Protein backbone atom coordinates (compact mmCIF):
# COMPACT_ATOMS: atom_id res chain seq x y z
CA UNK A 1 0.00 0.00 0.00
CA UNK A 2 1.19 3.49 -0.87
CA UNK A 3 0.06 6.88 0.40
CA UNK A 4 0.37 8.51 -3.03
CA UNK A 5 0.43 5.93 -5.81
CA UNK A 6 1.59 6.79 -9.31
CA UNK A 7 -1.39 8.07 -11.29
CA UNK A 8 -1.68 7.25 -14.98
CA UNK A 9 -4.27 6.11 -17.46
CA UNK A 10 -4.11 2.43 -18.24
CA UNK A 11 -6.10 -0.59 -19.26
CA UNK A 12 -5.28 -2.44 -16.03
CA UNK A 13 -6.34 0.26 -13.59
CA UNK A 14 -8.95 0.25 -10.86
CA UNK A 15 -11.55 1.50 -13.32
CA UNK A 16 -12.18 -2.18 -14.14
CA UNK A 17 -13.84 -2.57 -10.73
CA UNK A 18 -15.91 0.56 -11.26
CA UNK A 19 -16.84 -0.54 -14.75
CA UNK A 20 -18.15 -3.84 -13.40
CA UNK A 21 -20.25 -2.00 -10.79
CA UNK A 22 -21.64 0.43 -13.38
CA UNK A 23 -22.40 -2.51 -15.69
CA UNK A 24 -24.38 -4.38 -13.00
CA UNK A 25 -26.27 -1.22 -11.96
CA UNK A 26 -26.83 -0.19 -15.57
CA UNK A 27 -28.25 -3.54 -16.65
CA UNK A 28 -30.61 -3.56 -13.69
CA UNK A 29 -31.71 0.03 -14.30
CA UNK A 30 -32.32 -0.69 -17.98
CA UNK A 31 -34.49 -3.75 -17.40
CA UNK A 32 -36.37 -2.48 -14.33
CA UNK A 33 -39.61 -0.55 -14.73
CA UNK A 34 -39.08 3.23 -14.65
CA UNK A 35 -41.16 3.55 -11.48
CA UNK A 36 -38.77 1.23 -9.63
CA UNK A 37 -35.70 3.19 -10.76
CA UNK A 38 -37.38 6.46 -9.76
CA UNK A 39 -38.14 4.98 -6.34
CA UNK A 40 -34.43 4.12 -5.93
CA UNK A 41 -33.44 7.79 -6.36
CA UNK A 42 -36.24 9.49 -4.41
CA UNK A 43 -34.77 12.13 -2.08
CA UNK A 44 -37.98 13.95 -1.18
CA UNK A 45 -38.36 14.75 2.48
CA UNK A 46 -34.65 15.04 3.22
CA UNK A 47 -33.53 17.77 5.61
CA UNK A 48 -30.99 20.36 4.49
CA UNK A 49 -28.31 18.93 6.82
CA UNK A 50 -28.75 15.47 5.31
CA UNK A 51 -28.42 16.84 1.79
CA UNK A 52 -25.27 18.83 2.71
CA UNK A 53 -23.53 15.86 4.33
CA UNK A 54 -24.51 13.64 1.43
CA UNK A 55 -23.04 16.12 -1.06
CA UNK A 56 -19.84 16.32 1.02
CA UNK A 57 -19.72 12.53 0.95
CA UNK A 58 -20.09 12.57 -2.82
CA UNK A 59 -17.09 14.92 -3.09
CA UNK A 60 -14.99 12.49 -1.02
CA UNK A 61 -16.34 9.65 -3.18
CA UNK A 62 -15.32 11.54 -6.31
CA UNK A 63 -11.75 11.85 -5.00
CA UNK A 64 -11.77 8.11 -4.30
CA UNK A 65 -13.17 7.31 -7.74
CA UNK A 66 -10.61 9.48 -9.55
CA UNK A 67 -7.81 7.74 -7.67
CA UNK A 68 -9.27 4.34 -8.50
CA UNK A 69 -9.59 5.19 -12.20
CA UNK A 70 -6.06 6.59 -12.49
CA UNK A 71 -4.15 4.02 -10.42
CA UNK A 72 -2.80 0.74 -11.82
CA UNK A 73 -3.94 -2.48 -10.18
CA UNK A 74 -1.44 -4.40 -8.04
CA UNK A 75 -1.94 -7.59 -10.06
CA UNK A 76 -0.16 -10.70 -8.82
CA UNK A 77 -0.30 -9.82 -5.13
CA UNK A 78 -2.23 -11.60 -2.40
CA UNK A 79 -4.19 -8.45 -1.59
CA UNK A 80 -5.22 -8.22 -5.24
CA UNK A 81 -6.70 -11.72 -5.11
CA UNK A 82 -8.56 -10.85 -1.90
CA UNK A 83 -9.85 -7.61 -3.45
CA UNK A 84 -11.16 -9.44 -6.52
CA UNK A 85 -13.11 -11.87 -4.32
CA UNK A 86 -14.44 -8.96 -2.25
CA UNK A 87 -15.54 -7.09 -5.37
CA UNK A 88 -17.15 -10.20 -6.88
CA UNK A 89 -19.18 -10.82 -3.72
CA UNK A 90 -20.14 -7.13 -3.75
CA UNK A 91 -21.27 -7.24 -7.39
CA UNK A 92 -23.41 -10.32 -6.83
CA UNK A 93 -24.85 -8.71 -3.70
CA UNK A 94 -25.70 -5.46 -5.52
CA UNK A 95 -27.54 -7.38 -8.23
CA UNK A 96 -29.46 -9.50 -5.70
CA UNK A 97 -30.38 -6.47 -3.58
CA UNK A 98 -31.64 -4.60 -6.63
CA UNK A 99 -33.71 -7.59 -7.74
CA UNK A 100 -35.29 -7.88 -4.28
CA UNK A 101 -35.98 -4.13 -4.36
CA UNK A 102 -37.64 -4.46 -7.76
CA UNK A 103 -39.80 -7.40 -6.69
CA UNK A 104 -41.23 -5.68 -3.60
CA UNK A 105 -44.63 -3.99 -4.04
CA UNK A 106 -44.52 -0.19 -3.72
CA UNK A 107 -46.81 -0.17 -0.70
CA UNK A 108 -44.48 -2.41 1.34
CA UNK A 109 -40.98 -1.92 2.75
CA UNK A 110 -38.31 -4.04 1.10
CA UNK A 111 -37.55 -6.85 3.53
CA UNK A 112 -36.79 -9.92 1.41
CA UNK A 113 -33.50 -11.52 0.40
CA UNK A 114 -30.44 -9.57 1.54
CA UNK A 115 -32.81 -7.05 3.12
CA UNK A 116 -33.44 -9.68 5.79
CA UNK A 117 -29.90 -9.21 7.10
CA UNK A 118 -29.28 -5.53 6.26
CA UNK A 119 -31.55 -2.54 5.80
CA UNK A 120 -29.15 -1.18 3.15
CA UNK A 121 -27.56 -4.10 1.29
CA UNK A 122 -27.15 -2.14 -1.96
CA UNK A 123 -24.91 0.37 -0.21
CA UNK A 124 -23.02 -2.26 1.76
CA UNK A 125 -22.39 -4.38 -1.32
CA UNK A 126 -21.40 -1.43 -3.53
CA UNK A 127 -19.04 -0.43 -0.71
CA UNK A 128 -17.48 -3.90 -0.85
CA UNK A 129 -16.75 -3.35 -4.55
CA UNK A 130 -15.22 0.08 -3.93
CA UNK A 131 -13.24 -1.14 -0.93
CA UNK A 132 -11.96 -4.00 -3.08
CA UNK A 133 -10.90 -1.48 -5.72
CA UNK A 134 -9.05 0.65 -3.14
CA UNK A 135 -7.20 -2.41 -1.91
CA UNK A 136 -6.50 -3.61 -5.46
CA UNK A 137 -4.78 -0.33 -6.35
CA UNK A 138 -2.92 -0.25 -3.04
CA UNK A 139 -3.72 3.39 -2.19
CA UNK A 140 -4.04 4.64 1.38
CA UNK A 141 -5.32 7.97 0.05
CA UNK A 142 -8.13 6.26 -1.87
CA UNK A 143 -8.92 4.15 1.18
CA UNK A 144 -9.15 7.23 3.43
CA UNK A 145 -11.35 9.03 0.88
CA UNK A 146 -13.53 5.93 0.68
CA UNK A 147 -14.04 5.81 4.46
CA UNK A 148 -14.79 9.54 4.62
CA UNK A 149 -17.35 9.15 1.83
CA UNK A 150 -18.99 6.19 3.56
CA UNK A 151 -19.11 8.00 6.91
CA UNK A 152 -20.76 11.05 5.35
CA UNK A 153 -23.19 8.91 3.35
CA UNK A 154 -24.54 7.69 6.69
CA UNK A 155 -26.59 10.91 6.91
CA UNK A 156 -28.29 10.07 3.62
CA UNK A 157 -29.02 6.60 4.93
CA UNK A 158 -30.65 8.10 8.01
CA UNK A 159 -32.75 10.31 5.72
CA UNK A 160 -33.86 7.28 3.72
CA UNK A 161 -34.90 5.53 6.91
CA UNK A 162 -36.89 8.57 8.06
CA UNK A 163 -38.66 8.66 4.70
CA UNK A 164 -39.43 4.93 4.94
CA UNK A 165 -40.83 5.40 8.46
CA UNK A 166 -43.15 8.13 7.14
CA UNK A 167 -44.18 6.06 4.14
CA UNK A 168 -44.60 2.61 5.72
CA UNK A 169 -45.15 3.38 9.43
CA UNK A 170 -45.33 0.47 11.87
CA UNK A 171 -44.18 -2.26 9.43
CA UNK A 172 -40.94 -0.35 8.80
CA UNK A 173 -40.49 0.38 12.53
CA UNK A 174 -40.76 -3.35 13.23
CA UNK A 175 -38.35 -4.06 10.38
CA UNK A 176 -35.84 -1.56 11.83
CA UNK A 177 -35.99 -3.29 15.21
CA UNK A 178 -35.44 -6.70 13.63
CA UNK A 179 -32.76 -5.99 10.99
CA UNK A 180 -29.45 -4.15 11.51
CA UNK A 181 -28.59 -1.18 9.34
CA UNK A 182 -25.26 -2.53 8.03
CA UNK A 183 -25.43 -6.32 8.35
CA UNK A 184 -23.97 -7.13 11.77
CA UNK A 185 -23.20 -3.52 12.66
CA UNK A 186 -25.34 -0.90 14.38
Helix/strand number for the chain, H first, E second: 7, 0
> 4, exposed or middle or buried, with CB in 10 Å at 0-12, 13-18, 19+?
exposed
Which sequence spans correspond to the domains of the chain? 15-22+58-178
CB within 8 Å of 15: residues ≥ 6 apart: 68, 69
pLDDT tens digits, the chain, 186 residues: what are they? 888 888 899 999 999 999 999 999 999 889 998 888 888 777 777 778 888 888 888 899 999 999 999 999 999 988 899 999 999 999 999 999 999 999 999 889 999 999 999 999 999 999 999 999 999 999 999 999 999 999 988 888 888 898 889 889 999 999 999 999 987 654
Asked if residues 93 and 128 have their Cβ atoms less than 8 Å apart, the reply is yes
Beta bridge partners of 2: 139
- The Cα–Cα gap between 182 and 186 comes to 7
| Full-model pTM | 0.88
Amino acid sequence: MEVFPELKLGLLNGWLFLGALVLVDGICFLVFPKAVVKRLWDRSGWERKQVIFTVMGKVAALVCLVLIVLTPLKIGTTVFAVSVVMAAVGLIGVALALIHFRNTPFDQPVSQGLYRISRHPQIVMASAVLLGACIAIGSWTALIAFFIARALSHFGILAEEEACLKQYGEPYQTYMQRVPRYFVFF
